[in-house]
Amino acid sequence: MGIIRSRRWLILTSIGLVLFVVYLAYTNPFRVLMEVGRFDPWAFALALAINYAGMFFFAASWYTLLRVLGVGVGLWEAVRAMFVSLFIVWLIPIPVGTEAIRAYLVRDKDNSDIGKAIASVVVHKAYYNISFGLLIALASLMVTVFWKGPMPVSPGFVALVILFAAVSSIIYGLFLSPATLMAVYERSPAWLKRNLFDRLVDTSRDEEGFPSVVEGIEAAVEMLKRKPLENFLSILMG
């Protein structure tokens, strides 16, 4: 089984590298860099390293939540799941694609279920939006108050980004509300229940269907609430 997984991972990695090379050959980003100024390979390498470090901390933020929930996923496995989800969404842009893919990848892990998987990615997304909004607000204060300089972008745009982060975090919070989820489920037409909600659970093993998913999400959220320090750490790394 381990050999099959290794071969599958090698095949997917090879396909990803080939597609990335094709992407570079087609778009030629280095030509764009040469147009805007002299290409500095060291600066480019530093920017790339910072980008990957940010993605690592992003995955570590999610891993922290998985640990609180007791899901049997290691840090390196969480990082791999993050990169896989980002790669798939890069190929096929879909709304909340990275969250859906990561939830699917961890739902059958040790001590995991669909409720924990959904709660982990939704809470992580909300924390990311909160930290992103706080980072933008802090940067704006540093430029305008401490450095006494002009904003490099429109203040209205900054306000819009912060507002978007706040509103989207509230929406994700509502998504974790059992009452909201059940209200949406009960008011949905039969075809939507059958093709969307009920597909989240194996009804052959769980006769309760989607309500059991809601119960799992509620239990997972309660587990997260009991660990405020880990939640704060997840926000910082997000």
Supply the pTM of this predicted model: 0.74
Which tens digits make up the pLDDT trace of 112-159?
888 899 899 989 988 888 888 788 778 777 877 777 767 666 777 777
Share of the chain above pLDDT 90, in %: 11
Quick one: pLDDT band at residue 67, thresholds 50, 70, 90? Answer: very high
**200 or 228, which is more confident:** 228
Q: Are 206 and 212 in contact (CB under 8 A)?
A: yes
Average pLDDT estimate for 227-231: 89
Q: What angle, 0 to 180 degrees and rounded to 10, lies between the N-to-C axes of helices 114-141 and 155-175?
A: 160
Q: Are 172 and 126 in contact (CB under 8 A)?
A: yes
Quick one: pLDDT band at residue 171, thresholds 50, 70, 90? Answer: confident
> What is the pLDDT of the chain when averaged over all its residues?
80
CA distances in angstroms from 72 to 2, 75, 79, 92, 217, listed in the order given: 17, 10, 14, 28, 17
Q: Where are the domains of the chain?
A: 1-39, 55-237
**78 or 42, which is more confident:** 78
**118 or 8, which is more confident:** 118
Q: Are 68 and 227 in contact (CB under 8 A)?
A: yes
Q: What pLDDT is stored for residue 66 in this prediction?
A: 94
Distance CA 125, CA 238 (A): 9
Average pLDDT estimate for 172-198: 79
Number of neighbouring beta carbons within 10 Å of residue 33: 15
What does 128-194 look like in DSSP terms, one character per residue?
HHHHHHHHHHHHHHIIIIIS----SS-HHHHHHHHHHHHHHHHHHHHHT-HHHHHHHHHHS-HHHII
Distance CA 33, CA 184 (A): 48
Biggest CA–CA distance in the chain, Å, is 64
Average pLDDT estimate for 170-191: 80
CA angle 93, 98, 100 (to 5 degrees): 105
Distance CA 195, CA 213 (A): 15
Q: What pLDDT is stored for residue 48 in this prediction?
A: 84
Distance CA 118, CA 115 (A): 5
Distance CA 11, CA 23 (A): 18
Length of the chain in terms of residues written: 238
Number of neighbouring beta carbons within 10 Å of residue 177: 15
Q: What is the DSSP letter of 198?
A: G
Q: What pLDDT is stored for residue 5 in this prediction?
A: 59
What does 98-130 look like in DSSP terms, one character per residue?
HHHHHHHHHTTSTT--HHHHHHHHHHHHHHHHH
| 175 pLDDT above the threshold of 70 | yes
